[in-house]
Chains A and B, each alone.
Chain A
Amino acid sequence: MPRLKIEQLYKIKGEVLRSLVLDTEKNRARITVHMGTCGISSGADKVLETLQDELASSGREDISITTSGCAGICNREPLITIERVGEEPVKYADVDEQKARQIFREHVLDGNVNPDWVFARGWEQKDVDFEGPPSGATEGTSHIRDIPFFGMQDPVVMKNRGLIQAEKIEEYISRDGYFAAAKALYQMDPDEIIAEIKKSGIRGRGGAGFPTGMKWGFAASSRGETKYVLCNADEGDPGAFMDRCVLESDPHAVLEGMIIAAKAIGSHQGYIYCRAEYPLAVRMLNLAIDQARNYGLLGKDILGSGFDFDLEVYRGAGAFVCGEETALMTSIEGKRGTPRPRPPFPAIQGLWKKPTILNNVETLANVAQIILKGGKWYGSMGTRRSKGTKVFALTGDVRNVGLVEVPMGMPIGTIIYDIGGGIPNGKRFKAVQLGGPSGGCIPVQHLNTPVDYESITRLGAIVGSGGMIVMDEDKCVVDVARFFMEFCRDESCGKCTPCRVGTQKMLEILTNICEGKGKEGDIETLEKWADIIKNTALCGLGQTVPNPVLSTLRYFRDEYEAHIRDGRCPAVVCSAFFKSPCMHACPINMDIPSYMALIRAGRLNDAYKVLLKTNPFPAICGRVCDHKCETKCRRATLDAPLDIKHLKRFITDNGSRPPVTPVPITRKEKIAVIGAGPSGLTAAKDLALRGYGVTVFDRFPEPGGMLRWAIPAYRLPRNILDNEINDILSLGVELRCNTRVVLQSEGTSAAEGSDISWDRLKKDFDAIYLAIGAQQSMPMDIEGYDLDGVSGAIEFLRELNLGKTPYVGKKVAVIGGGNSAIDASRSALRLGAREVTILYRRRREDMPAQDEEIHAAEEEGVKIRYLIAPLRAKGVKGRLKKVICRHMSLGDFDASGRRKSVPKLGDEFAFDADQLILAIGQKTDDAIHMEAAGVTTTKRGFIEIVEGTKSQTASPMVFAGGDVVSGPDTVVGAIAAGHHAAIEIDEAIREKNGESAEVPVEEEIEIPVTIEEEIQETPRVCLCESDCAERIKDFREVELGFSQEEALKEANRCLRCDVEAETG
């Protein structure tokens, strides 16, 4: 091959561009198979073979097949692009051999696009895109730039993504390759080159963010004939693969950058240190260097300019620390890769003690474009101090996984949700890890933070090399911190004591915490050592080793504390804390695997007993629980989680309720429980079983609290409710309904069903448990709130459940997105409303109501409209006639990780309604006199609990729990509060008397163990429901429960994770 001069660069560019143009004679169609490492491991090589096969059989010579590197969206690989003359290019995703054959025959040969398999039209890069109109067949498909994942990116480093073959230097030249090198060699002197780089403001993309121009300036002014240009291609951060994409798909960009760098500092020899774990990258680099040398673009007298520069690839050998600047140089020198102290800095004394610059792959890949288009152009992107674009490797629990290049300064929530598509499988976002083992976690409350060097550092993380790992609610941050510490401990070179010993010691503590052996003081120790290691370690690896720990402690200290103090892993990951994840996720630790096994064995009565050990209301929970257990069921990783809730119901429907015998009162202390809801009744049961005399007071005519007054009968039949409450009362618990607790001065009468004063309570009882719930609707501060026809959801439901006939309009509007909104809507339908519409201020995925409930409501005909908020209610003669509403749009993220809804200006409309039900939140009873009780309340009116306890209030011997403390929560949450309160009340009384603690003895039930040898994917059994049209005529139960056969089939899917733990 001839040694090129500049004119020949133009010639080659022209030739390649011309060859790309499709015509109706010799070049009718072209297929590009995208083949980066991910593509190949997804089968792209087989797809290529298949297409080549098909082409050969077809005998066509006017169709060509070519390849390119990575296409950018990892989880849709393999991808291919089809171009036909006169038609817009079309991309197919998830292509296998079979699809490839069909696509060739139908689309390439006959022009029939397969709409089901098509991914997008067009090319990502505007400058190469097809200029004609979309063809009829693909009109319905999005253009690739309309897909946020691609459209919101700014491909600068990625400008050649999907377009060129790395193995053909000519294709690189056709994309203006080596023109920048020519300009730098012929038209610029070293000072001008460095000035341009400084003007661009580019900072080292490897992680440290040091201004590149400044680094080159130091090396340029160092004295010496021999200087080195090094490229750090050791991309060792787990979770980062940006550099790999450039090296495999566009290696010449790196070579060209190094040539320009060499001219800038006066170097004639360079090395690319590439990690051995990237065999394809090494191969492509060596091929690229060969081709460049053959063309005279490397070696002596490049392009005839008189400048010499040559390159060699140096392979790493598997040591993360060799990504550190001085360790890398030491490794090239043939030694153990240990870092050196600085000063002297590499720009003065680096490789072989000569002035050296080391730049990251991504940094170098930007250089050529900066020279061609100018530093000003580059500096126009990004923020004031973080200029340009950055490539991020977005992975983890996110829908769209791949390489994302965006201008610096884009908010991190935009990257994760708009580009990344958000969190899949209905899970919640927990944190995003930036910067690998040197970095930190950003939690949900900082989603609006722009991604630039300074802003991220302020949050305790680093931008780092670009790894961005999204973590959902199922990840334990303590475990993640431990994971990174283990990595650093393994990779520590061992030279300096702080890192060598520090990583080992910190790892020991973190491991202990994850294994349930954490001690009080461990967190403080970790913080102390973190400080020491940060300030004394020799190199960047050691200095940043404590970052993941410090970052997770900053935002998730409560998770560490839960591990150490409560014996809980809130994310249900650290298996030392639980037998099976479902049990640990349950607020009351129900022994799910045991009752699954008992269903399989046909022992339903024993199963019922297992339920009652922890849950006094299993039949109720089997109908209304929010089943957190199912969100952690391991079966979900195989097919779908077990329907634990309905299996629990199956037991209570088909097993016999164990008979209840009254428990003799053996203790002299008397306990008062205020509120006969699930929390109060649970505490009453537990205390009665311990021999206490318990009296439960409730202001309403019947017990049950929200179970009776808020949950409609079609979800929870009244006889089920009554049975379970009676079982508790039959233990000997006294119940006084229609009784309110009042201030002395409000007067009392001695008759039954009258009120009782606080003073009386405190005198007659040794302990009081306040469990009055949050049974009032939050009001809405809008004009017209007091019109007839406007009410709160809780009050509406209570009237219905009290047996009265609440007002129901013909056109009902419900405001809110939680379970109460759904309950009110479905009840209004049954009471005769013709149209019921829920108006919700955010989107469906933001609604807190259970999915099953939303779905059932829609089936029944409830309409739901999103992004709408009410402004005021308008009426005639005091009666509601319409609700004036406004459309909302989504703004910044709020602290819950959801986008705030912000009003769209000027967009009001009237919604006709003769009833408006407000379900926007709940508060506790206004009339209850907190000061008289001696308790303190939060700003929102809920009772404050003494820290370190679960139910103790500011007033001695007054305890509280359930919704009155937590705000509106679940039934099982209330039950858990009741259990904790009973324990604390018992302990407090015993302590007062100087007695030791005693736990009531439980019946032992033997649980059978059968393990499946072979597990096959089986779908979840669907639950039967009453017919839709029929069921809305009354309040009959909607869900019908499992049959014997269905229950057995579903219970058989249980993996018995608890047994695995024992034999593993």
Chain B
Amino acid sequence: MLQKSGLDTKQTEEQEFTAEELASVDAIIEHYKNKPGSLIPVLEEIQEAIGYLPKSVQRRVALGLSIPFSEVYGVVTFYSFFTMTPKGKHTIRCCLGTACYVRGGKRILEKLTQTLKVAPGETTSDRRFSLETVRCLGACGLAPVVMVDENTYRQMKPSKVSEILEAYE
């Protein structure tokens, strides 16, 4: 079974990533190789290094850690932090936790989807922005909250959306 998917004629990792990037992937796998239960930290660090986790990379991880590809795939698709498609240059996280929702988070999200013309979970066609919704960034005192990359914007209003997005190239 594994062999069949291994022979998929999808893009191989050699075509997608640079030699450097692949080297960093292998280094991460090597570091955690003998530690049981380290799949999640491995995937986290690889995603931090190369941006996303396509099937090709997942297969590499499976081979390197000696676990079935299906298990790797299962973990990648279970946890919301992992993505199999590249993200935009900037990640917008619109909080829809209870406090933000109660203070109008839904309308902020509507304005964002309207302005960017993508739905949550998608990336704009020019790869500038990825839009995500998060459940609670834990800044409920400043609701409604939107994060763009590491910057947190507090007490958001739909009218402020365009202004904030313009600051990001």
Does B136 touch A at the CB level, under 8 Å?
yes
User: Inside 8 A of B142's CB, which chain A residues have their CB?
Assistant: 38, 41-42, 74-75
Q: Which of B104, B140, B152 contacts A401 (CB 8 A)?
A: B140
Contacting B at CB under 8 A, from A63-98, are 73-75, 77
For residues 266 through 295 of chain A, which have their beta carbon under 8 Å from a beta carbon of chain B? 276-278
The interface residues of chain A lying within 8 Å CB-to-CB of B145 are: 41
Residue of B nearest to A74 (CB): B141
Q: How far is the CB of A284 from chain B (nearest CB, A)?
A: 14
Q: Is B44 within 8 A of A317, CB to CB? A: yes
Please indicate the chain B residues that have their CB under 8 angstroms from the CB of A1064 in the complex: 110, 114
CB pair A75–B136 under 8 Å, yes or no, is no
Residue of A nearest to B42 (CB): A334
- Interface segment, one of B2-10, B12-20, B21-29, B79-87: B79-87
Question: Which residue of the partner chain A has the closest CB to B32?
Answer: A334
**Across-interface contacts of B152 in A (CB, < 8 A):** 37, 40-41
B71 → chain A closest CB, angstroms: 7
In whole angstroms, what is the CA distance A493 to B77 when docked? 11
Q: Once the chains bind, are A331 and B40 in contact (CB under 8 Å)?
A: yes
Contact indicator B157/A401 (Cβ below 8 Å): no
Q: Which of B38-63 touch A at CB < 8 Å? A: 38-41, 43-44
Least CB distance from B43 to A in Å reads 8
Instruction: Flag if B40 contacts A319 (CB, 8 Å).
Output: no
Given contacts A42-B154, A319-B78, A336-B78, contact A637 B143 (CB under 8 A): no
Minimum Cβ distance to chain A for residue B62 (Å): 12
Minimum CB–CB distance for A350 against chain B, Å: 13
Choose, from A233-241, A841-849, A922-930, A1024-1032, the stretch at the interface. A233-241
Q: A436-B98, A471-B102 are in contact. Are A393 and B140 (CB under 8 A)?
A: yes
Contacts of A334 in B (CB 8 A): 36-40, 75
A469 to B103, CA, bound (A): 11
B112 vs chain A, min Cβ distance (A): 13
Q: Report the bound CA distance from A920 to B71 in whole Å.
A: 72
Provide the residues of chain B in CB contact with A395, threshold 8 Å. Answer: 99, 140-141, 143
Residue pair B79, A475 in contact (C-beta under 8 Å): no
Complexed CA–CA distance, A770 and B58 (Å): 77
> What is the total number of residues of chain B having a CB less than 8 Å from a CB of chain A?
44
Known interface pairs A236-B135, A638-B159; A241-B80 also in contact (CB < 8 Å)? no
Q: Which residues of A sit under 8 angstroms from B78, Cβ to Cβ?
A: 319, 336-337, 493
| A163 vs chain B, min Cβ distance (A) | 20
CB atoms of B103 and A396 under 8 A apart: yes
Asked if B98 and A401 make an inter-chain contact with CB atoms under 8 angstroms apart, the answer reads no
| Inter-subunit contact A402/B141 (CB<8 Å) | yes
Q: Which residue of B lies closest to A313 (CB)?
A: B41
Partner of B75, one of A37, A335, A480: A335
Query: Is A238's CB under 8 angstroms from B157's CB?
Result: no
Chain B residues in 8 Å Cβ range of A491: 135
- Which of A235, A240, A352, A402: most chain B Cβ within 10 A? A240
> Would you call A786 an interface residue if the criterion is a C-beta within 8 Å of the partner chain's C-beta atoms?
no
**Residue of B whose beta carbon sits closest to that of A76:** B141
Closest Cβ of chain B: how far from A787's Cβ, in Å?
52
B138 touches A41 (CB 8 A): no
How far is the CB of A210 from the nearest CB of chain B, in Å? 24
Question: Contacts of B98 on A, CB cut-off 8 Å?
Answer: 238-239, 396, 433, 436, 467, 469, 480, 483-484
A320 at the interface (CB under 8 A from B): yes
Chain B residues with Cβ below 8 Å from A38 are 139, 141-142, 154
Cβ < 8 Å to B, chain A residues 457-507: 467, 469, 471, 475, 480, 483-484, 487, 490-491, 493
Give CA–CA (A396, B96) in the complex, Å: 13
B102 contacts A276, C-beta separation under 8 Å: no
Closest to A1014 in B: B159
A938 vs B38: C-alpha distance in the bound complex, in angstroms? Answer: 70
Contacts of B99 in A (CB 8 A): 238-239, 395-396, 469
Q: How many residues of A contact B (CB 8 A)?
A: 58
**B137 an interface residue at 8 Å Cβ cutoff?**
yes
**Across the interface, do A319 and B136 meet the contact criterion of CB distance under 8 Å?**
no
In the complex, chain A residues whose CB is within 8 Å of the CB of B137: 277
Tell me the interface secondary structure of chain B in the complex. mixed
Q: How far is the CB of B117 from chain A (nearest CB, A)?
A: 14
Complex Cα–Cα for A73 and B114 (A): 34
Interface residues of A in 27-84 (CB under 8 A from B): 37-38, 40-42, 73-75, 77
**Which residue on chain B has the smallest CB distance to residue A401?**
B141
Chain B residues with Cβ under 8 A from A469's Cβ? 98-99, 102, 140
- The interface centre, meaning the residue of A240, A317, A318, A320 with most chain B CB atoms within 10 A of its CB, is A317
CB contact list, A392-445 vs B, under 8 A: 393, 395-397, 401-402, 433, 436
- A638 and B79 form a contact (CB under 8 A): no
Residues of A231-250 contacting chain B, CB below 8 A: 235-241, 244
Interface membership of A332, Cβ < 8 A: yes
CA distance A864 to B154 in the complex (A): 40
Answer whether residue A314 sits at the interface, using C-beta atoms and an 8 A cutoff. yes
B126 to chain A, nearest CB (A): 23
* Bound-complex Cα distance A333 to B135 (A): 24
Q: How far is the CA of A236 from the CA of B134 in the complex (A)?
A: 11
B160 to chain A, nearest CB (A): 11
CA gap between A213 and B135 in the complex, in Å: 32
Q: Is the CB of A317 within 8 A of B79?
A: yes
A315 close to chain B: CB less than 8 A: yes
> Among A237, A241, A337, A475, which residue has its beta carbon within 8 angstroms of that of B102?
A475
What separation, in Å, do the CA atoms of A240 and B71 have in the docked complex? 32
Q: Give chain B interface residues in 75-119, CB to chain A under 8 Å.
A: 75, 78-82, 96-104, 110, 114
Residue pair A336, B37 in contact (C-beta under 8 Å): no
Q: How far is the CA of A487 from the CA of B139 in the complex (A)?
A: 18
Q: Are B44 and A277 in contact (CB under 8 A)?
A: no
Complex partner residue of B37 from A74, A278, A332, A467, CB under 8 angstroms: A332
- CB-CB nearest in chain A for B67: A334
Shortest Cβ gap from A77 to chain B (Å) = 8
The 12 listed contacts between A and B (C-beta, < 8 Å) are A37-B139, A239-B97, A278-B138, A318-B80, A335-B74, A393-B140, A395-B99, A396-B98, A401-B141, A480-B102, A638-B157, A638-B159
Q: With A314-B41, A336-B74, A395-B140 given, can you name 15 additional A-B contacts, CB distance below 8 Å?
A: A38-B139, A238-B99, A239-B140, A241-B140, A276-B44, A277-B134, A277-B137, A317-B79, A318-B79, A319-B79, A393-B140, A396-B99, A396-B103, A480-B102, A1064-B110
6 smallest CB-CB distances across A and B, nearest first, come from A74-B141, A238-B97, A41-B152, A317-B79, A318-B80, A334-B39
A residues near B, CB below 8 A?
Answer: 37-38, 40-42, 73-75, 77, 235-241, 244, 276-278, 314-320, 331-337, 352, 393, 395-397, 401-402, 433, 436, 467, 469, 471, 475, 480, 483-484, 487, 490-491, 493, 637-638, 1015, 1064
